[in-house]
């Protein structure tokens, strides 16, 4: 590759860490990667200092070295739903409450009762639960009114980093659709919902919503010095992590993705909006002008990591242990609501291990943990289909948990369908890089779209995992266990 090849950077700012990828603008080839950790959180109270995200981004960018000289554009994809409040001077009012902070569950219930589940679903495509930003605002109004009154702006995590880079408070319709105050069908803020949350003074303080190919601004001198980049490069609108993952996969209508990270998600691209009054399916927008109906569970890789620690195994050893029980899974069923649960909406729930007998083995418990996490997400996929979302395309398994041999095989077994594991598990950073490239090129070549970049970069390639057995009956057993 010629040393003069322009690069774009995709940023994945997650709950646990920040990852940055420098990719060649023309081919999408990865040139350099950087990482830095975020402060740990301890749900149900889950908070982080947004300044720590910026410091981690600076540290991760430093690992790209001299490649930074060739960067022409950057975009940030971030953990959804988090609440960042800043005052008139731009100072952070309090630590950001994250998506997996469930302490606003009472306020979520009160908001649904006050506005009505049907109206929430009609106005925003979703019925808010404790993870949504608007419930955190309501909690502030009830418990920290003075701090809320000092806030001049409310941002989502990716918005905060974009603001630090280009000094504009903006977002995109994908991440905005998880706030609880945005209508993705009308592409408009809904003031009555902010008033219902006791945050009416922030109606003019929410981020401006940009289109998929819009440039948020250019990198300021101050940000350029901190990140080691050239001032004036393009900063794209950015988006939420799930929306970026869809971009990074080249997801098409009919395809679905199961993501195994700190949380678990299952989502699909749709050309039409969904409005689920039950609240199980969040009717999000995607980052390309369409929609991304999604089901989220709070409990994914942390559950399997915890059970692995109980059994004294590392990740690879735990996967081998679970797979050794496939032919004799026994009756053990694990309902993995270790940190409460978002779907179903049970914020105070705990995990349950049922069906134990004197013959239950450690491999069977390991398999129960893997299957429990996946079965909850597959129930979510069924919920997407029940709303008319097309699911006749490819099934992708992504996220850090997709590295597990057990998760890969059991996803195929439990669906009795081939599953594709992408060649890169950094689909969020990849998607952010796609957005950065498309926004940059669109300015001088208006015919450039997100799809133009996805096709040129040949996204969506991966390893196909075929089912080794038909484990669909295992899903029925999981449902029985979850209902006990």
Residue 143: which H helix or E strand, with range?
helix 133-143
Q: What angle do CA 402, 297, 156 make, to 5 degrees?
A: 95
Helix (H) or strand (E) holding 37: strand 30-37
The single residue listed with the structure tokens 């969506």 is: 460
**Strand-by-strand arrangement of the 282-285 sheet:** 282-285, 291-297, 264-268, 256-260, 395-398, 419-422, 462-465
Distance, in Å, from the CA atom of 335 to the CA atom of 174, rounded to the nearest integer, reads: 31
Kindly give, in sequence order, each residue whose CB lies less than 8 Å from that of residue 429, ignoring residues fewer than 6 positions away.
10, 11, 12, 19, 20, 21, 77, 244, 248
Name the active-site residue from 12, 101, 159, 241.
Answer: 241
Can 175 be counted among the known catalytic residues? Answer: no
Count Cβ atoms below 10 Å from residue 348 Cβ, excluding itself: 10
- Looking at the DSSP bridge assignments, the partners of residue 188 are 183
Q: Would you list the DSSP string of 359-400?
A: T--HHHHHHHHHHHHHHHHHHHHHHHHHTT----S-EEEESG
Helix (H, G, I), strand (E, B) or coil at 264: strand
Angle at 405 (CA atoms; ends 399, 406), nearest 5 degrees: 95
Q: Which residues are catalytic?
A: 241
């Amino acid at each position: 590759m010629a040393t003069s090849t322009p690069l774009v950077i995709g940023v994945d700012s997650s709950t646990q860490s920040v990852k940055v990828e420098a990719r060649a603008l023309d081919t999408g080839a990865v040139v350099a990667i950087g990482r830095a950790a975020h402060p740990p959180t301890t749900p149900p109270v889950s908070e982080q200092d947004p300044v720590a995200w910026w410091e981690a981004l600076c540290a991760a960018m430093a690992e790209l070295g001299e490649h930074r000289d060739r960067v022409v554009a950057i975009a940030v994809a971030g953990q959804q739903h988090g609440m960042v409040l800043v005052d008139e001077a731009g100072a952070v009012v309090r630590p950001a409450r994250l998506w997996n902070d469930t302490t606003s569950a009472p306020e979520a219930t009160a908001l649904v009762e006050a506005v009505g589940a049907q109206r929430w679903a009609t106005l925003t495509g979703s019925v808010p639960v404790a993870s949504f930003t608007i419930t955190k605002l309501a909690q502030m109004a009830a418990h920290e009114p003075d701090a809320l009154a000092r806030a001049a702006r409310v941002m989502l995590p990716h918005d905060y980093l974009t603001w630090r880079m280009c000094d504009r408070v903006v977002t995109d319709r994908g991440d905005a659709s998880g706030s609880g105050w945005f209508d993705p069908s009308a592409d408009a803020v809904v003031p009555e919902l902010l008033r219902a949350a006791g945050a009416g003074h922030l109606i003019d303080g929410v981020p401006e919503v940009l289109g998929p190919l819009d440039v948020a601004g250019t990198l300021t001198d101050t940000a350029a010095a901190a990140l080691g980049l050239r001032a004036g490069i393009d900063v794209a609108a950015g988006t939420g992590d799930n929306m970026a993952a869809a971009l990074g996969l080249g997801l098409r209508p009919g395809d679905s993705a199961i993501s195994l990270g700190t949380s678990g998600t299952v989502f699909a691209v749709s050309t039409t909006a969904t409005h689920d009054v039950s609240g199980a399916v969040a009717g999000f927008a995607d980052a390309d002008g369409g929609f991304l109906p999604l089901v989220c569970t709070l409990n994914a890789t942390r559950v399997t990591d915890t059970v692995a620690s109980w059994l004294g195994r590392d990740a690879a050893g735990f996967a081998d242990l679970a797979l050794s029980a496939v032919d004799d899974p026994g009756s053990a069923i694990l309902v993995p609501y270790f940190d409460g649960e978002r779907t179903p909406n049970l914020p105070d729930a705990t995990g349950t291990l049922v069906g134990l007998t004197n013959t239950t083995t450690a491999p069977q418990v390991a398999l129960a943990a893997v299957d429990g996490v996946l079965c909850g997400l597959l129930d979510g996929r069924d919920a997407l289909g029940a709303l008319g979302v097309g699911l006749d395309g490819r099934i992708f398994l992504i996220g850090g948990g997709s590295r597990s041999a057990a998760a890969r095989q059991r996803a195929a077994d439990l669906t009795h369908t081939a599953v594709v594991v992408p060649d890169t598990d950094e689909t969020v950073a990849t998607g952010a890089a796609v957005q950065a490239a498309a926004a940059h090129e669109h300015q001088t070549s208006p015919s450039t779209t997100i799809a133009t970049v996805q096709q040129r970069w040949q996204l969506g390639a991966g390893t196909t995992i075929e089912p080794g057995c038909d484990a669909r009956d295992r899903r029925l057993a999981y449902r029985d266990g979850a209902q006990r």
